[in-house]
Amino acid sequence: MAGTNYPTGLATRTKFGGSAVGFAPAADTKLVTKTAVIRCDAQTAETTTGFSLPAAAIVTDVFLNVITIDATETVDVGTTGTSNDPNGFLAGASLATAGLVYGSLADGAVTRGALLYEITEATTAAARKPCITAGGDPVSYTCSAGSDTAVFDIIIEYKEVVVDA
């Protein structure tokens, strides 16, 4: 079968294209997996990180690595720009414990932002989803009122869609 190498178990990609006038070669589209790690300190006003997602980005996950804790502080992580959702990735994530912080979908304790989840049943059941609407937008964060001692990394896992014509 064209495009598959069965003896080695490795699948290869075959390009297909088409139109009303017949078959034509398609552009070579690739998904390149990337991770952005952005060091931040506590800011109570929305602060742009200086990192913008690529125009064709599929954000699969966002979490924190808390370096210096602040037991009274939480943080929102989101975007400015077209999607303009300041807590679209994380909403009220705690900075009280050192280490990795992952957004929750627990009923009554959702900290994943609306760009990364959807309600699936009535108003309480939620499911993860990738974000395809924030491509090209700058990433921002806002810490809650409290002391300004927290230091943390925002970790963004995403795939960039690259098309070679």
Q: What's the whole-number mean pLDDT along residues 82-87?
A: 92
- The CATH number assigned to the domain with range 28-164 reads 2.60.120
Categorize the per-residue pLDDT at 152 as very low, low, confident or very high, splitting at 50, 70 and 90: very high
Is residue 85 within 8 Å of 63, Cβ to Cβ? no
pTM: 0.80
Q: DSSP 3-state assignment of 143?
A: strand
Q: Is the model more confident about 44 or about 50? A: 50
Q: What is the mean pLDDT of the chain?
A: 83
Residues facing residue 19 across a β-bridge: 22
Categorize the per-residue pLDDT at 54 as very low, low, confident or very high, splitting at 50, 70 and 90: very high
Q: Which residues contact 9 (CB under 8 A, 6 or more apart)?
A: none
Categorize the per-residue pLDDT at 10 as very low, low, confident or very high, splitting at 50, 70 and 90: very low
Amino acid identity, position 16: F
**The pLDDT value given to residue 115:** 92
Q: Is the model more confident about 22 or about 89? A: 89
**How many CB atoms lie under 10 A from the CB of residue 136?**
15
